[in-house]
Amino acid sequence: MDAIKKRYEFVLLFDVENGNPNGDPDAGNMPRIDAETGLGLVTDVCLKRKIRNYVDIAKNDTERYDIYVREGSVLNTQHRKAYKAMELEPESKKLPKEIEQAKKLTHFMCHHFFDVRTFGAVMSTEVNCGVVRGPVQINFARSIDPIIQQEVTITRMAVTSEKDAEKKDREMGRKFIVPYALYRVEGYISAFLADKTGFSEDDLELFWEALTNMFDHDHSAARGKMSARKLIVFEHETALGNAPAHKLFDLLTVSCKDPERPTRSFNDYEVSINHTALPAGVKLIEK
């Protein structure tokens, strides 16, 4: 399949209601927060996990759509698939001396694994398949307004062991939630890097699909109600691009309709797009 020929940038708005969108292990799994501004954060790694999970469900191990970074997977085992396909034996931490063989190993990983040709991967481990820089890069998501981290006490009408039953008939616990927050994440797609990994038009459409549907297959009691609210795509006419990314991102503004009241839904915000300032050669697509 031919790789994409155009450059893209995108902005995704998503929200959380009574949930923890991304716990911070350095803070007792409380929702991630920018300590200086109070704005909530969701890491790129967290969002990529949800994208991977959606593709895994949607394609169900279809050829070209295997997932490299699976939950509980062993990366060296994934690398051995390439060596087996090329009928080669791996040498500890080294690529084959023949350049063409090394390229074929990396090409196999790009062709076989959706997330390798999309996000890239450092595969220079014990079983070495090289390093791939992916065409799709995603920033940290940041909330529009400062978030409130609430600690909620919960009870369980059962105990863990027989010994505990002698002392009590229930156990207490805690969970952390954000009552409501709207997040904004920005990303980039390079046609030049796509050409190196084989990221195709079909891959691009699947990526858009994953962004808009990933939360619908990731519900849990901890994450609460999470929803993708709006996806804005900037499509350039060329691979090099027709405008700087930051100027395109500035065209989209999100503001609270009533700053005097706490926000509790997406309808409490106004999303504005400055269509008149859209640079020549850039097409704006709303999904």
Query: 58 falls in which pLDDT band (50, 70, 90)?
Result: very high
Q: What is the pTM of this model?
A: 0.93
- Taking CA atoms, 251 is separated from 11, 149, 206, 257, 271, in Å, by 11, 30, 25, 18, 11
Fill in the amino acid letter for 95.
L
Query: 286 falls in which pLDDT band (50, 70, 90)?
Result: very high
Judge contact between 264 and 153, C-beta under 8 A.
Answer: no
pLDDT for res 162: 74
pLDDT at 169 exceeding the cut of 80: no
Give the DSSP letter string of the chain: -PBP-S-EEEEEEEEEEEE-SSEEGGGTTEEPB-TTT-EEEE-HHHHHHHHHHHHHHHHTT-TT-B-SS-TT--HHHHHHHHHHHTT---BTTB--SSHHHHHHHHHHHHHHBHHHHHHEEEEESSSEEEEEE-SEEEPPEEEEEE---EEEEEEESS-SSHHHHTT-S-EEEEEEEEEEEEEEEEEEE-HHHHHHHT-BHHHHHHHHHHHHHGGGG--BTTTBEEEEEEEEEEEESSSS-SS-HHHHHTTEEEEES-TTS---SGGGEEEEE-GGGPPTTEEEEE-
Query: 170 falls in which pLDDT band (50, 70, 90)?
Result: confident
- 214: exposed, middle or buried (C-beta count within 10 Å: 0-12, 13-18, 19+)? buried
pLDDT for res 166: 67
pLDDT above 70 covers what percent of the chain? 98
pLDDT at 253 exceeding the cut of 90: yes
Domain ranges of the chain: 8-152+175-286
Comparison of pLDDT for 163 and 104, the residue scoring more: 104
pLDDT for res 174: 83
What six digits make up the tokens of 195? 């050409």
pLDDT single digits (tens) 174-224 = 899 999 999 999 999 999 999 999 999 999 999 999 999 999 999 999 999
For residues 129-137, give the mean pLDDT: 98
Query: 154 falls in which pLDDT band (50, 70, 90)?
Result: confident
pLDDT single digits (tens) 79-132 = 999 999 999 999 999 999 999 999 999 999 999 999 999 999 999 999 999 999
| Vertex 286 angle, CA 284 and 287, to 5° | 140
Comparison of pLDDT for 269 and 154, the residue scoring more: 269
Torsion sign, CA atoms 78, 82, 84, 89: negative
- Give the C-alpha separation, 118 to 134, whole Å: 5
pLDDT above 90 covers what percent of the chain? 87
Residue 14 pairs in a beta bridge with: 183, 228
